[in-house]
Amino acid sequence: MRITVMTADEQIISLEVAPHESVENVKALLEVETQVPLQQQKLLYNGREMRNNEKLSALGVKDEDLVMMVSNAAARSAPSNNSGLNLDGSAVDPGAFQQQLRNDSNTMAQLFQADPELAQVILGNDLNKLQDLLRQRHRQRSELRRQQEEEFALLEADPFDVEAQKKIEAAIRQKGIDENWAAALEYNPESFARVIMLYVDMEVNGVPLKAFVDSGAQSTIISKSCAERCGLLRLLDQRYKGIAHGVGQSEILGRIHVAPIKIGNIFYPCSFMVLDSPNMEFLFGLDMLRKHQCIIDLNENVLRMGGGEVSVPFLQERDIPPRFLDEERYSKEASSSGNPVSLIFSYMLLLKQILVNGMCYLLCDSMNCFQTLKKSLTV
């Protein structure tokens, strides 16, 4: 038959045992699963302690029943003597405690994920702050343990109560989440690191800058301040005003129809949408990536232009200005929304006829290019 064992830290363990198995043998199986010594285990069934020499069938344990496992009070207090911590959670020797953790790179890596505040304090030089934080964490653990003991008391009183079943379900779900997190930390730790976005060195109208390469953005964007620095604001066509929708809204000031950009040692024509956004300086979008047949080669970490005629390396993190960190966050949020900034532009004004100097221009392609159709107006 199968029984389910829930530990004090809400770990769920499923065991296949014989109906006439002794409690002592069940504890031996749990020792393998939980690393808790047999002598320190205390099993409870329907609120009653199960003794080592008793049989499961004699206790009335049936298939799919729930058994609680807690540690003896002596077992909980014994390790504190050798843990290097006082009863209030502070370190006996804070300097030695700090140095021991600093020398353990694996523990520090896990600590940065689980408790970055404590990890930063350990790397610092303020031992008093370390002691205060250790005491705070101890109080939090004590409060959590008290809440768990109260929940266990309710579960032991009536394990088939609706609320008790909900708590068991939540514990099983949390166990799966924790195991998934632990597996990712062990086998895919790089997934917890910050992803460095793709930047390349580029010149726009002879002005060098760091261009953010974003294949998830439909149009190439330049900020008003960057366009002014590059001497292009005088070419701004304000007939193409609109609103860029994504995470929030940004005003489209207009369009610069063509300007030279230099990537590597070759010049390419490029058009931009000009946004009044302090979070975006220059974004090389999908329209120009497609036009110039670019290849984002992540294996070689380069951007290839013209099908490979020119390749420029993506910048390392040290080469990216710190002020671009907010820009990365802004663009990442926008792309994750499914409607990236520069993907959905309000072309309501462009879908109307644009009258200039007595000629009528009809918008034929609102994504990349405009075919000019000239005809006389009859008034």
* Residue-wise DSSP of 304-333: EETTTTEEEEPPPGGGS-GGGHHHHHHHHH
The phi, psi pair for 65, rounded to 5°, reads: -75, 160
Q: Is the pTM of this model over 0.85?
A: no
Burial (CB < 10 A; 0-12, 13-18, 19+), residue 370, is middle
In the chain, ranges of CATH 3.10.20.90 domains: 2-76
Q: Are 178 and 293 in contact (CB under 8 A)?
A: no
Which CATH architecture is the domain 199-345 placed in? Beta Barrel (2.40)
> In what helix (H) or strand (E) does residue 41 lie, and over which residues does it extend?
strand 41-45
Measured CA to CA, the distance from residue 288 to residue 270 in angstroms comes to 7
Q: Are 344 and 246 in contact (CB under 8 A)?
A: yes
Measured CA to CA, the distance from residue 235 to residue 237 in angstroms comes to 6
pLDDT at 311: 92
Is residue 214 part of the annotated active site? The answer reads: yes
Q: How many CA atoms lie within 13 A of 156 on its CB side?
A: 18
The DSSP string of 195-229 is PPP-EEEEEETTEEEEEEE-TT-SS-EEEHHHHHH
Measured CA to CA, the distance from residue 39 to residue 354 in angstroms comes to 86
User: Which residue out of 9, 161, 201, 214 is catalytically annotated?
Assistant: 214
In the chain, ranges of CATH 2.40.70.10 domains: 199-345
Measured CA to CA, the distance from residue 91 to residue 31 in angstroms comes to 29
> In what helix (H) or strand (E) does residue 250 lie, and over which residues does it extend?
strand 248-263
Burial 84-106 (b: 16+ CB within 10 A, else e): ebeeebbbeeeeebbeebeeeee
Tokens 């579960």: give the residue. Answer: 155
CB neighbour list of residue 334: distance below 8 Å, 6 or more residues apart: 217, 246, 247, 340, 341
Measured CA to CA, the distance from residue 20 to residue 26 in angstroms comes to 11
pLDDT at 79: 42
- Two tokens at 299? 């294996």
Task: Count CB neighbours of 7 within 10 A.
Answer: 20
Measured CA to CA, the distance from residue 270 to residue 220 in angstroms comes to 8
- Two tokens at 257? 């129809």
pLDDT at 350: 35
Which among 254, 298, 256, 266 is positioned nearest to 202, based on CA atoms? 266
Residues of the chain with pLDDT under 70: 9-10, 47, 72-84, 105-106, 109, 159, 245-248, 279, 325-379
Measured CA to CA, the distance from residue 324 to residue 199 in angstroms comes to 10
Q: Among 3.10.20.90, 3.40.109.10, 3.40.50.300, 3.30.460.10, name the CATH number for the domain at 2-76.
A: 3.10.20.90
pLDDT at 231: 93
> What is the C-alpha radius of gyration for the chain, rounded to an integer number of angstroms?
32
